[in-house]
Each structure stands twice: as structure tokens, then as C-alpha cells.
């Protein structure tokens, strides 16, 4: 809801809820004002000689529309079949709470944690974390840590826990085209003046070719190719395309030619339209030639694409495609590059042991198609390894109606988190 | 407003208003139930030996949105600078009323009209006149006439009255594409499944080429070419492209290569998107891969294109263009062919003399880009010439915010209409 200023009061209420629960667990916890939704910050007592872990999460969520597709209301959490249904159940309120719960358990049972844990829970993740970067840079000393722990991803499949070592980035745009100064009668004027909706379709349609490849010149120049080892390991994962099709309700999958579905989703860049608006959208027929047409669309980026280079190349391409009689405005909403973590990191190996304790099975190492833009910022500003320990499932419907989170995964996540603090504390020679 | 069932009560109120005014003028007037908005029908006394004229108009109007662009509310008629601003001022309430007023004047001053006039004012013109055809066919004897008079078009320019001898037709469609069964996270799934909004842009973008020509196979096969005489006469009309550009607020015009702006608007077919809907249309950014995308769009047709042949060819083309993983529904909203009237008709010549009396200048003979689908039905069912005597101006904003009608044109239209009854009555040998 952080996308809509009308809900800023509700968003703040969520922040206060998180802070009060951290304080109740025994941590020093505060709200930090940023100019946007506040950041919740908390920390436990320092433990000399042990590494420091920083937990990052977010209390903000995506808008819930289309509301009429929810079985139970998005903001009235409801348990059905061992799952809790609510906006934010998996992205990211439910997953984030596993760490709050494990810390509370340690403090309740042992009186102290085996290492210092810092928690940073923000409220702008779904809209690009506008103020977080400044906060991290301004508080780099206070936030100093050896690794960052984030649970905002999914397991590979039910019973197949995973650690995510790669994420796609994003570059989100809004293209606004305008033509005549007002809506016109399509009979009187049609054919004699450029139609912004026609232009929008033609321009967007030209951005992807018949092979599913993005046609923006230079778009693929910086793409880090998949290694043969990665392609082999991805191919060995227990991925059932039929089940995936049925999950999505489609009779065939599609995407960039020459790549598997997993490769397309994890390691290849995309261009997806997120929304279209123009002209008459009501019931029946209105013979209008619309004055304006706009599209929200976004590129999922992979290492080592740069969002700003992509934006600049896109702008050049759109200006080339712009027909006479149409004016263009391109809004750059937010961007973040993709990232890959080193598989040999001792923190990643400690995390793998903790996940095995919590879930009863050694995790697979996977990538993820979604973006967690702040991961890059953490890696860069805090010089820390980032551990993406996802407790969710792929059908948890993040960003969609009927978002959910399994209570079993919630409890396994808490156990893995509790084990993580012990595994990390056993690293006797922190890297820095 | 006839497009929206929520306004059926208001639409009926407009019908009753028209009926009561015709009755007050001294005509037999009634509401005829049709299953949709009622038809207002009235007639004056028969005049043996004189032709019979039938006036057709419509009391329904287009929806007024976008409401916030109106200077004064669309349903509170307001006079500014000698013009009346209101939805329907020119299309068609205001123009239709000129005939009501001229008939009332004849009856008040002479006690009788010099020929029998029948009036048929319907309430579904803006949504395809669904029930009118059946009404005409079922009442062909009662409605028998020598010519049909319709004032629902424009003058060529201020001070240049016109009689319209050709109209474009229309074929209006709604294309609904669906992909995954629900909206998806564009990061988790993007690249691995076909996006209906991407498909919509690509499919619609492929329907028009770089020359502004529609790419539906066979689309131009039946198009009646412009004659050299027509092209020469159109070129001689006082058309100021610069003023036209400024009226529309565009820095350049556009359209099918090889034709002038007048030719493109009057005598060449088009394909214009009327509305686009998909995914997230609110404030800010939502990273959704939409489950559905749809477009309303329409082809303006010219003689001798057949709307059903065009629809069938479009459907074949869209099915060819449909990518894997996307399902298609094509709704055919309404259609009507274009039409051309014979310039040598004595009724058309009588009308020219009447317009000269009302406006002080002989009219030019023009075509019009808009559709009046019932004109075809009148010509076919009643075997009558159709006189399109437009009193409006091209900048009257029909179908747009701030629709208006000049009071001077209103009064000149009343005088021309009054003269028309006399001119038509002087045709001593009606054609049938």
C-alpha cells in the first residue's frame, strides 16, 4: 500500500506494530523518520568475537486489487488448510516475523543471543526503497555487520528448501503519449490525426520481437551469460512444467527462444507491460479517438545490466519509434541492477547448515526472478554478504489476490532462523 | 448515455421531453416501446399530391467523461459567447430541435404544413440503433416517405454550409486477451509466461503498417476509390490545415500515405483504438504481470466495404497473430456500411435551395467521416433519398468534453428547415 499516499496512516501503523513487538522481545527498538514511511530499527546486545548479523525485511505490501478476486479480505488474515491468507503473508510480513520470533525465543530461553543481531524493517520496499539508501549510507557505522539476512524469497518447491544466490534487477517505466488536446470523435477525425493509443500499441509491440527478445539496441550487451554448470544444475532441479502450467492456468508457456522456463525466469532479462490505460474503458462502445494513452512497464534485469543504461537506451528507442503528431513522456519509476552472491562464502555455508536443521533437508542453491533492490545497496554500502533464505512457496501469490503463507513453513523458518544465529556465531574468523 | 443501463431512466425522460414538445406544437406524438429506449414518433396531417418527408434524429447522447475537462457541467446547458454548451448540444439534440421548431412555426403561422412531415426520434443512435431496424421494417407502410431529413452532421466551415452526400460506416470491436488465471508477480514469473498486455500491444501494433495502412488481408478489396472529380473538388474546398492542427492541438497531422487530410477523414477507412485496459492503472508502480488485457477499437468503413466481411477478416488476422499461451475473445459491438447519396436527386437539389435560403449561401457538397448507421437502413427499408443537412461546426466537440452548438447556426437551421418544407412541396412529381 506504500504506492498510494492515501494509506500512509495505515502504513505507519504497521511500522509501530513491528517496533512494539521487537521491544516486547527485549530489543532496543525505534522508529526512524526518513521522509517516507519510517524505518523500524532494533538491535540486541553486542557479542565480542562473534560476527554481527543484520536482518532486513519490509512491513509494506503491494496494493490488494483486484479486490473481488480475494476469497477472504486481504487485510483480515484468515487461516485455511494450514495456510494464512492475507496481503503480505509471504511478502514480506510473515517471513520477516520468523526472525522476530526466533530472536524472542533465544532471549526467552537463553537470556541472550550467541551473536549480535540488528534488525532493519522498512516500509518502502514495494515502491523502490527511496529513503533506505540514504539511511544505510548515513548509518553505515551503526549498521556495520558481517552478513545480511533476508527472508523474502521462496523455497524451490514444497520439501525442497533453497538458498537464493542470484536475483534479477528491475527498471520500471511509465510511458505517457499524448496527441490531440482532447478526446475526439473517431468518425469526424479518425484517419486524419495520429491516435496515441494506436501509437502506444505500435511502439510497445515493437519492443519485443517474434523470438521473445527485447529489441532495444544494446539491451543484451552487458548480460552475464549463464555458465554451463548453472544450466546443468538448473536442468537437474525437480521442475514440473506441466504442474507449473496448471498452476498458472495456461495451456502453454512462452518466452525468449533458446532458454528453458527456469532460465527465462531467473537469468534472462524481460520486458513486461504492467498496465495499460487509454480512452473509454466503461461498458459498451464509445467512438472516441483518445487524447492520451499510457503504459506502465518494466524490464527485469540480470547481472551485469545497468538500469540507467537500459533506461537511456529505451528512451532513445522510444524516441525513434515515436510517430509524427504524438508527444512522449517517459517516467523512470525505479531501478536496481541484478546481483549474484559468491557460493563459497562461509556465511552462505553456515546458512545452508541452519536451513538443514530447520527444514530437515539440505537446501538447493537457486536464483530468483524477482528483485530485492536493497540487496545491492547492502552489499555495496555495508560490504556484507547477503543471505537470501526464503521460507515461501512459489504459489504463495505475492502481489496477487489470495496471497498466503504456510504455517508449517512459518514454523520451520523460525527453527532455521534460531539455528542460523548459532551457526553464524560459530564462524570464529569473520571475514572483516 | 444510452451505453450505460444505469441511466435508462434519464434516457426515457429525454424521450418524454421530445414527445411532449411535438404534441405541444400540434402533432400527433407518441412513445413507441421497442425493448430499449423508446422511439418518439409524430406526424402532421397528410397533404395529397405533395411528397412526404420523414425527419430522423436521436435524443440519446454519448457518455460525458472525462467529466473534469468540462468547463460547465455536461447536463447543465450554459450559453457562452453565443454558443450553448452541453452534452448533445450538436449531436443531436440541438440540431434535431431545429426541425421541431420549424414545424411549430409553420403550424403557428400557417395552420398547416405544405407537405406531410413525419418525425422519428430514437434513443439508441450512440449504441448502434439496435431496435430501430425492426421498427422501420415492421412499420414501413406507416413510415412511407419520399425523403428522409437528418441534421446530425456539420457545415464545412463557419459560413460554408454543406450538404453531406457520403458517410463512412463503422465496425466496432472489443478484443479481450487472457493469459494466466490471475495477476502474477512480474519478477517471479516474468519471461516464463506470455503476458496478455504485451500480446495486445503486439497484435494491435501489427494491424497498421508504417504507411498508416491497415494490414488486415482483404481490408481494402471493396473500397470504392475516390473519383478524380471528387479529389479535385475536395482539394478546392477552403480547408486550412494549420488551423485544423491548432484546433486539435497537434504539431503535425498523420494518416494513410498518399491521401490528403480531407480524403483520409471522409473517404478512406481507418482502424483506431478507442480504449485500452490492463493491469495496474493506479498511482505509482506495481510489478504485476496482468492476467488480462483488452482493447476497444473500431474501423471506419467507406463504400463499399461490408462490416461483416471486415469482422471476419479481422478475426482471421487476430487468430494468426495470437501468440502461444494467450486466449482470445473478439466481441463485435456494432457495424454499419458507409453510404453515398446520388448528387442528382431532386430532393438533394431542393435541400440545397432551402439551405441557401436559411444560411444565405449555396451549400457545398461534402462527405463526412462519421457514421449514421441508420441512414443505410432508411435508404434500404424505405427506399427514400436521405438528405444530410448539417447545421453544426467541426469544432463543436461531439463525443468530447465541452460539446457546443452555435445559437446562430441553430436559428439559421430553423429557417432552412422552414424553407425546406416549401421547396420539397414544390416537387410536383415525386419519384414514387
Q: Does B192 touch chain A (CB under 8 A)?
A: yes
- If asked whether residues B66 and B141 sit together in one domain, one would say yes
Cβ contacts below 8 Å, chain A against chain B, sum to 367
Task: Single out the residue in B311, B336, B361 at which a domain terminates.
Answer: B336
pLDDT value, residue B345: 85
For residue A268, the chain B residue with the least C-alpha distance is: B191
| Cα A16 from Cα A8, distance rounded (Å) | 13
| Cα B337 from Cα B375, distance rounded (Å) | 10
Query: Is B63 close to A254, i.e. CB distance below 8 A?
Result: no
DSSP-derived pairing of the beta strands B339-340 and A292-301: unpaired
Which domain covers residue B380, as residue numbers? Answer: 5-167+339-425
What residues in A contact B267, CB-CB < 8 Å? none
For residue A154, the chain B residue with the least C-alpha distance is: B188
Q: Is residue A310 part of a domain?
A: yes
Q: Does A285 touch chain B (CB under 8 A)?
A: yes
Query: Is B182 close to A249, i.e. CB distance below 8 A?
Result: yes
Query: Is A369 close to B192, i.e. CB distance below 8 A?
Result: yes
Q: What is the DSSP letter of B38?
A: P
| Cα B396 from Cα B61, distance rounded (Å) | 14
Query: Is B287 close to A399, i.e. CB distance below 8 A?
Result: yes
DSSP character string of A366-412:
EEESS--HHHHHHHHHH--EEEEEE-B-TTS-TTSTT-EEEHHHHHH
Angle at which helix B407-425 crosses helix B93-110, to 10 degrees, equals 50
**What ranges make up the beta strands (E) of B321-380?**
327-336, 339-340, 364-368
> Nearest C-alpha of chain A: how many angstroms from B157?
13
| Cα B146 from Cα A344, distance rounded (Å) | 92
CATH of the domain at A325: 3.30.70.360
Q: Does B304 touch chain A (CB under 8 A)?
A: no
What residues in A contact B289, CB-CB < 8 Å? 272, 274
- If asked whether residues B154 and B17 sit together in one domain, one would say yes
pLDDT tens for each residue of chain B, 432 residues long: 777 788 888 999 999 999 999 999 999 999 999 999 999 999 999 999 999 999 999 999 999 989 999 999 999 999 999 999 999 999 999 999 999 999 999 999 999 999 999 999 999 998 888 899 899 999 999 999 999 999 998 899 899 999 999 999 999 999 999 999 999 999 989 999 999 999 999 999 999 999 999 999 999 999 999 989 889 989 989 999 999 999 999 999 999 999 999 999 999 999 999 999 999 999 999 999 999 999 999 999 999 999 999 999 999 999 999 999 999 999 999 888 998 887 778 999 999 999 999 999 999 989 989 877 788 889 889 988 899 999 999 889 998 999 999 999 999 999 999 999 999 999 976 555
H or E element that contains A424: helix A407-425
C-alpha gyration radius of chain B: 23
| Cα A56 from Cα A49, distance rounded (Å) | 22
> Nearest C-alpha of chain A: how many angstroms from B75?
18
- If asked whether residues A195 and A296 sit together in one domain, one would say yes
For residue B253, the chain A residue with the least C-alpha distance is: A193
Q: Does A213 touch chain B (CB under 8 A)?
A: no
Least confident of A36-50, A102-116, B4-18, B23-37: B4-18
> Nearest C-alpha of chain B: how many angstroms from A104?
31
Q: Is residue A149 part of a domain?
A: yes
Q: Is residue A261 part of a domain?
A: no
Q: Is residue B253 part of a domain?
A: no
Q: Does A68 touch chain B (CB under 8 A)?
A: no
- If asked whether residues B49 and B142 sit together in one domain, one would say yes
Query: Is A201 close to B334, i.e. CB distance below 8 A?
Result: no
Q: Which of A192, A264, A290 sits opposite B253 (nearest CB)?
A: A192
Q: Which of B63, B188, B401 sits opposite A282 (nearest CB)?
A: B63
Predicted-complex ipTM score: 0.78
Tell me the pLDDT tens digit for each residue of A68-77. 999 999 999 9
| Cα A178 from Cα A187, distance rounded (Å) | 19
- If asked whether residues B137 and B173 sit together in one domain, one would say no
| Cα A77 from Cα A117, distance rounded (Å) | 29
Query: Is B204 close to A201, i.e. CB distance below 8 A?
Result: yes
pLDDT value, residue B150: 96
Residue with cell 480504449: B275
Q: In the beta sheet, which residues pair with residue A272?
A: A298
Q: Which of B198, B201, B300 sits opposite A191 (nearest CB)?
A: B300
C-alpha gyration radius of chain A: 23
CB B54 within 8 A of CB B384: yes
Q: What is the DSSP letter of A79?
A: E
- If asked whether residues B146 and B119 sit together in one domain, one would say yes
For residue A61, the chain B residue with the least C-alpha distance is: B286
Q: Which of A192, A204, A255 sits opposite B201 (nearest CB)?
A: A204
Nearest 5°: CA angle at A78, between A20 and A7?
Answer: 55
Structure-block grid coordinates of residue A430: 569473520
| Cα A169 from Cα A301, distance rounded (Å) | 4
Q: Count CA atoms closer than 13 A to B46's CA, side-chain side.
A: 6
Q: Does B253 touch chain A (CB under 8 A)?
A: yes
Distances from the Cα of A238 to the Cα of A233, A406, B107, B197, B309, angstroms: 10, 21, 88, 30, 50
Nearest 5°: CA angle at A131, between A127 and A134?
Answer: 145
Q: Is residue A136 part of a domain?
A: yes
Q: How remote is the C-alpha of B97 from its chain's centroid?
A: 17
Is pLDDT of A208 > 60? yes
Structure-block grid coordinates of residue B297: 477499437
Q: pTM for the full model?
A: 0.78
3-state class (DSSP) for residue B250: coil
Burial class (CB in 10 A: 0-12, 13-18, 19+), A379: middle
| Cα A176 from Cα A330, distance rounded (Å) | 6
| Cα B23 from Cα B121, distance rounded (Å) | 13
Buried b (16+ CB within 10 A) or exposed e, B112-130: ebebbbbbbbbbbbbbbbe
CB A390 within 8 A of CB A368: yes
Task: Single out the residue in A336, A364, A387 at which a domain terminates.
Answer: A336
Q: What are phi and psi of B414, to 5 degrees?
A: -60, -45
For residue A322, the chain B residue with the least C-alpha distance is: B210
Least confident of A305-314, A361-370, B80-89, B167-176: A361-370
- If asked whether residues B42 and B152 sit together in one domain, one would say yes
Query: In chain B, what is the straight-line distance between the N-terminal and C-terminal CA atoms, in Å?
Result: 38
Largest pairwise CA distance in chain A: 79
Tell me what the mean pLDDT of segment A196-223 comes to: 97
How many other CB atoms are there within 10 angstroms of residue A427's CB atom?
A: 17
Structure-block grid coordinates of residue B160: 460554408
| Cα A159 from Cα A356, distance rounded (Å) | 11
Structure-block grid coordinates of residue A52: 554481527
Q: Is residue A236 part of a domain?
A: no
Query: Is A270 close to B190, i.e. CB distance below 8 A?
Result: yes
pLDDT value, residue B331: 98
H helix intervals, B237-345: 241-248, 261-266, 307-321
Which residues of A are tagged catalytic? 60, 125
Is pLDDT of A172 > 60? yes
Tell me the pLDDT tens digit for each residue of A379-396. 889 988 899 999 999 889
DSSP-derived pairing of the beta strands B39-43 and B116-122: antiparallel
> Nearest C-alpha of chain B: how many angstroms from A197?
6
- If asked whether residues B51 and B144 sit together in one domain, one would say yes
pLDDT band at A53 (very low <50, low <70, confident <90, very high): very high
CB B93 within 8 A of CB B101: no
- If asked whether residues A58 and A204 sit together in one domain, one would say no
How many other CB atoms are there within 10 angstroms of residue A210's CB atom?
A: 8
Buried b (16+ CB within 10 A) or exposed e, A310-345: bbebbbebbeebbbebbebeeebbbbbbbbebeeeb
What residues in B contact A396, CB-CB < 8 Å? none
Alpha-carbon dihedral B406, B86, B16, B172, rounded to 10 degrees: 100
Query: Is B186 close to A274, i.e. CB distance below 8 A?
Result: yes
Q: Best residue in A2, A201, A366, A370 to probe B by mutation, most B CBs within 10 Å?
A: A201
Give the contacts of A255 (CB within 8 A, at least 6 positions apart): A212, A261, A264, A268, A270, B191, B192, B193, B194
| Cα A25 from Cα A230, distance rounded (Å) | 41
Alpha-carbon dihedral A133, A137, A139, A143, rounded to 10 degrees: 80
- The rounded mean pLDDT for chain A is 94
CATH of the domain at B389: 3.40.630.10
Q: Does A149 touch chain B (CB under 8 A)?
A: no
* Counted domains in chain B: 2
Q: Does A248 touch chain B (CB under 8 A)?
A: yes
Of the candidates A157, A153, A122, the one whose C-alpha atom is nearest the C-alpha of residue A136 is A122
Q: Does A404 touch chain B (CB under 8 A)?
A: no
| Cα B271 from Cα A197, distance rounded (Å) | 11
What residues in A contact B63, CB-CB < 8 Å? 280, 282, 286
3-state class (DSSP) for residue A329: strand
Tell me whether the omega of the peptide bond preceding residue B304 falls within 30 degrees of 0, making it cis.
Answer: yes
- If asked whether residues B300 and B393 sit together in one domain, one would say no
What residues in B contact A195, CB-CB < 8 Å? 272-273
CB A214 within 8 A of CB B195: no
Task: Single out the residue in A315, A336, A357 at which a domain terminates.
Answer: A336
3-state class (DSSP) for residue B254: coil
H or E element that contains B358: helix B346-359
Residue with cell 545491492: A376
| Cα B180 from Cα B161, distance rounded (Å) | 55
Q: Is residue A232 part of a domain?
A: no
Q: Is residue A327 part of a domain?
A: yes
- If asked whether residues B175 and B162 sit together in one domain, one would say no
Least confident of A19-23, A399-403, B2-6, B180-184: B2-6
What residues in A contact B268, CB-CB < 8 Å? 191
How many other CB atoms are there within 10 angstroms of residue A360's CB atom?
A: 11
- The catalytic residue among B43, B91, B92, B125 is B125
pLDDT value, residue A431: 52
Which residues numbered 327-346 in A keep a CB inside 8 Å of some CB on B?
333-334
- If asked whether residues B59 and B188 sit together in one domain, one would say no
Amino acid at each position: 500500500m506504500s504506492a498510494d499516499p492515501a494509506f500512509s496512516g495505515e502504513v505507519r501503523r504497521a511500522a509501530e506494530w513491528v517496533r512494539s513487538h521487537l521491544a516486547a522481545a527485549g530489543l532496543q527498538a525505534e522508529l526512524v523518520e526518513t521522509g517516507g514511511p519510517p524505518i523500524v530499527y532494533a538491535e540486541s546486545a553486542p557479542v565480542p568475537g562473534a560476527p554481527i548479523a543484520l536482518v532486513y525485511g519490509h512491513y509494506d505490501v503491494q496494493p490488494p486489487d483486484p479486490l473481488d478476486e480475494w476469497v477472504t479480505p486481504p487485510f483480515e488474515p484468515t487461516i485455511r488448510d494450514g495456510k494464512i491468507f492475507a496481503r503480505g503473508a509471504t511478502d514480506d510480513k510473515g517471513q520477516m516475523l520468523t526472525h522476530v520470533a526466533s530472536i524472542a525465543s533465544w532471549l526467552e530461553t537463553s537470556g541472550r543471543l550467541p551473536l549480535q543481531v540488528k534488525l532493519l524493517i522498512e516500509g518502502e520496499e514495494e515502491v523502490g526503497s527511496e529513503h533506505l539508501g540514504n539511511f544505510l549510507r548515513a548509518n553505515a557505522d551503526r549498521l556495520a555487520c558481517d552478513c545480511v539476512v533476508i527472508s523474502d524469497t521462496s523455497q524451490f518447491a514444497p520439501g525442497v528448501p533453497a538458498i537464493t544466490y542470484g536475483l534479477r534487477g528491475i527498471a520500471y517505466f511509465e510511458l505517457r503519449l499524448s496527441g490531440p488536446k482532447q478526446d475526439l470523435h473517431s468518425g469526424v477525425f479518425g484517419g486524419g490525426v495520429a491516435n496515441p493509443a494506436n501509437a502506444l500499441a505500435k511502439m510497445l509491440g515493437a519492443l519485443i520481437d517474434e523470438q521473445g527478445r527485447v529489441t532495444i539496441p544494446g539491451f543484451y550487451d552487458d548480460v552475464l551469460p549463464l555458465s554451463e554448470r548453472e544450466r546443468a544444475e538448473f536442468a537437474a532441479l525437480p521442475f514440473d512444467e506441466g504442474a507449473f502450467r496448471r498452476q498458472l492456468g495456461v495451456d502453454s508457456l512462452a518466452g525468449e527462444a533458446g532458454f528453458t522456463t527456469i532460465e527465462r525466469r531467473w537469468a534472462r532479462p524481460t520486458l513486461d507491460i504492467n498496465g495499460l490505460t487509454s480512452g473509454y474503458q466503461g461498458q459498451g462502445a464509445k467512438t472516441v479517438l483518445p487524447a492520451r494513452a499510457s503504459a506502465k512497464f518494466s524490464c527485469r534485469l540480470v547481472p551485469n545490466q545497468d538500469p540507467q543504461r537500459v533506461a537511456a537506451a529505451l528512451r532513445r528507442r522510444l524516441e525513434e519509434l515515436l510517430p509524427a503528431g504524438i508527444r512522449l513522456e517517459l517516467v523512470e519509476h525505479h531501478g536496481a541492477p541484478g546481483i549474484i552472491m559468491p557460493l563459497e562464502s562461509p556465511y552462505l555455508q553456515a546458512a545452508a547448515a541452519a536451513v538443514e536443521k530447520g527444514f530437515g533437508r539440505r537446501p538447493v542453491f537457486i536464483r530468483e526472478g524477482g528483485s530485492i533492490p536493497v540487496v545491492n545497496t547492502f552489499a555495496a554500502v555495508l560490504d556484507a554478504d547477503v543471505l537470501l533464505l526464503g521460507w515461501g512457496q512459489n504459489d504463495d501469490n505475492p502481489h496477487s489476490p489470495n496471497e498466503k503463507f504456510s504455517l508449517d513453513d512459518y514454523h520451520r523458518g523460525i527453527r532455521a532462523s534460531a539455528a542460523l544465529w548459532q551457526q553464524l556465531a560459530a564462524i570464529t574468523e569473520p571475514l572483516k
